[in-house]
């Protein structure tokens, strides 16, 4: 299962994949290599809403409606 507090965002300038952990909506993340902004203000707001939704529903129990993954 994936960690909802971890995001991997590719840099639009140099292409490096950046791991963003502990996302803070007050700061726009920057690339570890070239220091370019990884998203603009609108993307930052949308990403924050997405993270809020994930955090809101991550602890819901599975009631058996989803099909079992095939092995």
pLDDT by residue, tens only, the chain of 71 residues:
455 567 889 999 999 999 988 767 778 899 999 999 998 888 888 888 887 887 787 777 777 776 777 76
Q: Does residue 38 sit within a domain?
A: yes
Predicted model pTM: 0.58
Between CA 24 and CA 18, with CA 51 as vertex, the angle to 5 degrees is 60
Helix (H, G, I), strand (E, B) or coil at 65: coil
Distance CA 23, CA 12 (A): 18
Residue 24 lies in domain:
1-43
- Count of domains in the chain? 1
Q: Does residue 65 sit within a domain?
A: no
Q: Does residue 69 sit within a domain?
A: no
Task: Name the CA radius of gyration of the chain, rounded.
Answer: 15
Q: Does residue 60 sit within a domain?
A: no
């Amino acid at each position: 299962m994936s960690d909802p507090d971890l995001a991997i965002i590719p840099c639009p300038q140099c292409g490096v994949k950046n791991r963003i952990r502990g996302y803070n909506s007050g700061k726009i993340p920057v690339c570890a290599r070239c220091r370019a902004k990884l998203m603009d203000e609108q993307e930052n707001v949308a990403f924050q809403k997405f993270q809020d939704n994930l955090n809101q529903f991550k602890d819901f129990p599975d009631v058996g409606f989803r099909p079992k993954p095939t092995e």
